Amino acid sequence: MEYDIFIKFCMIRTFTILLCLGVTFLSASPDPELKKIEKALQTVPIVKSQKVPQILVYSKASGFAHKSIPTGVKALRALARKTGAFNPEFSQSVEDFTAENLKKFDGLIFNNCTRVEKAFVSQKQRSALLNFIRKGKGFSGFHGASDAGMPKWEEYTNMIGGCFNGHPWNAGGTWPFKVEDSEHTLCKSFVSKSFRFSDEIYQYKGYDRKKLRVLISLDSNQSGISGKSPTQDYPVSWVKSYGKGRVFYSNFGHNKATWWTPFLLEHFLAGIRWSVGELDGPHESLPQPPRL
């Protein structure tokens, strides 16, 4: 009897030790996504700045929740840690968007936060966000950040430059792109004026090329798919002004792999830095490319 109890005790103790070791091993195992992101960041240089910009990163989806949202958070955190270019504070609460709280930030990043108009329901919150940018601060938006349910919050669309209006070019396809402004500071990571890449690409309503500077565009004529634009003009990354503030937006970011692609991480970093005034570069519009 005592022998049986002793054997059971030893078995339970052994199982407990193995379980603990297993938990420790799992917790110590590297995140495979983070490992890819860190590898992609190996060639991204450290940024030296006298005053590191403080940036609020908002990642709450109020519509379709992209699976790449957590990947974007990891990438932005790793990008900030590796380069020292900015100091991020991550949030999923619109309660952080008060005029008083925003005073401590130099810029905002909207990471795939779809249906923005459903999150920012009060005029006070909407005014705090838009006035922050209008008075001279920075805004960077990625992919779903352009989904604001126009015309329910038209001024947000005016700020960012366009509103999501479907994606004929789906996430599983590989699409042709043009670098329209290869001399721009934000485009230095692109080694060619054209490239192919796999991501989900939007078309927009409320978009006017005369009001922003297109950096990257979809080459729809080479894609085999026609969208709704009569001129077949589909911007992908752009910069613009909003009052005294600067706005950078990129449609890239639906696919997780986008967030561990080196030349796009460098493009994103340059856009973030440009938005808060750490980099120079024009925001005035380029002419409409001729339709083929």
The sign of the dihedral angle between the CA atoms of 261, 262, 266, 267 is: negative
Residue with tokens 């009060």: 122
Distances from the Cα of 248 to the Cα of 68, 146, 172, 240, 274, angstroms = 19, 11, 25, 7, 8
Residue 11 has pLDDT above 60, yes or no: no
Q: Which residue has the higher pLDDT, 150 or 91?
A: 91
Average pLDDT of the residues in 78-96: 97
Contact 162, 211 (CB under 8 A): no
Average pLDDT, the chain: 90
Return the pLDDT at 23.
38
Return the pLDDT at 290.
55
Distances from the Cα of 82 to the Cα of 28, 41, 85, 86, 136, angstroms = 21, 7, 8, 10, 27
Residue 189 has pLDDT above 90, yes or no: yes
- In order of their start, the domains of the chain are 32-275 (3.40.50.880)
Per residue in 24-80, pLDDT (tens digit) is 333 445 899 999 999 999 999 999 888 999 999 999 999 889 999 999 999 999 999
- Backbone φ and ψ of 246, nearest 5°: -120, 140
Nearest to 141 by CA among 172, 107, 106, 169: 107
Return the pLDDT at 48.
86
Distance separating alpha carbons of residues 238 and 249, to the nearest angstrom: 6
Question: 39: how many CB neighbours lie within 10 A of its CB?
Answer: 11
Contact 79, 189 (CB under 8 A): no
Distance separating alpha carbons of residues 203 and 159, to the nearest angstrom: 17
Residue 210 has pLDDT above 90, yes or no: yes
Per residue in 232-285, pLDDT (tens digit) is 999 999 999 999 999 999 999 999 999 999 999 999 999 999 999 999 999 999
Residue 3 has pLDDT above 60, yes or no: no
- DSSP string computed for 156-176: HHHHHS-EE---SB-TTSEEE
Return the pLDDT at 34.
97
C-alpha distance across the termini of the chain, in Å: 90
- The proportion of the chain whose per-residue pLDDT surpasses 90, expressed as a percent, equals 82
